[in-house]
Amino acid sequence: LTHVPTGFSALDKEFGGVRLGIVTEVMAHTGDGKSAFIRQLAEGGARAGAGVLWIAAEDPEDASAERQLAGDTGIDSAQLGRLDLADGELARLQSAAGSAAPWADKVLPIFGSQDVDSVLELIDEVDRVGSAPLRLVLIDYAQVLGASRNLEDDVARLGEGLHQRSRDRGFATVVGSQVRTAVIARGREA
């Protein structure tokens, strides 16, 4: 096994999924779908039998659940949040829950504020998720983990720690990263 399938057929066909032993960074602007992409990676990896550690440092648990259920059912997330649901929508929720049963125990979501050290310690503590060995670590997103005054140093420490652990333990890591237009412009100028 060299890759963890993503659940995105085009990516899996072209690249085999996410490569084990390295860190992959997903960069996008606010609202471009990083969190939705990472949620899909969690499901795709778990469906393929991988244990998935998903660190969702940006969004709270209820918002993440509403977005996941909205994607799985086609029901608007605001309706889900208000529990403003008709009988047919309740049946779609029940169906989505049933279809998640075979893989959901392979995803360990961690919600809430984290710092770099706590993320690395958490990764060190997890060998298995449910019945599956840890094969995929997802972090959404790098910049919210910075607790010090030097965000660049925190992100560098995170990257170094993730690379070491991914190589040594043979799991794939995907980190979402927030990009601002000014940062892109600076990069183009350099």
* Cα–Cα distance measured from residue 167 to residue 139, given in angstroms and rounded to the nearest whole number: 17
pLDDT digits (tens, 9 = 90+) for 137-147: 999 888 777 66
Enumerate the β-bridge partners of residue 59. Answer: none
Spatial separation of the C-alpha atoms in residues 92 and 94, rounded to whole Å? 5
Question: What is the rounded CA–CA span in Å between residue 69 and residue 99?
Answer: 12
Distance (Å, whole) CA 90 – CA 75:
10
Structure pTM? 0.87
Beta strand residue intervals within the chain, DSSP E: 3-4, 18-19, 23-28, 51-56, 107-111, 128-129, 132-140, 172-178
Q: Given this model, what pLDDT does residue 168 score?
A: 98
Residue 180 has pLDDT above 90, yes or no: no
H or E stretch at 68 = helix 61-73
Q: For the purposes of burial, counting CB atoms within 10 Å of the CB of 179, is it exposed (0-12), middle (13-18) or buried (19 or more)?
A: middle
pLDDT at 65: 80
Contact call for residues 121 and 39 (beta carbons, < 8 A): no
Give tens-digit pLDDT for 157-172. 889 999 999 999 999 9
Pairing, β 3-4 against β 18-19: antiparallel
Give the pLDDT score at 32: 87
**Model confidence pLDDT, tens digit, residues 44-67:** 999 999 999 999 887 778 887 888
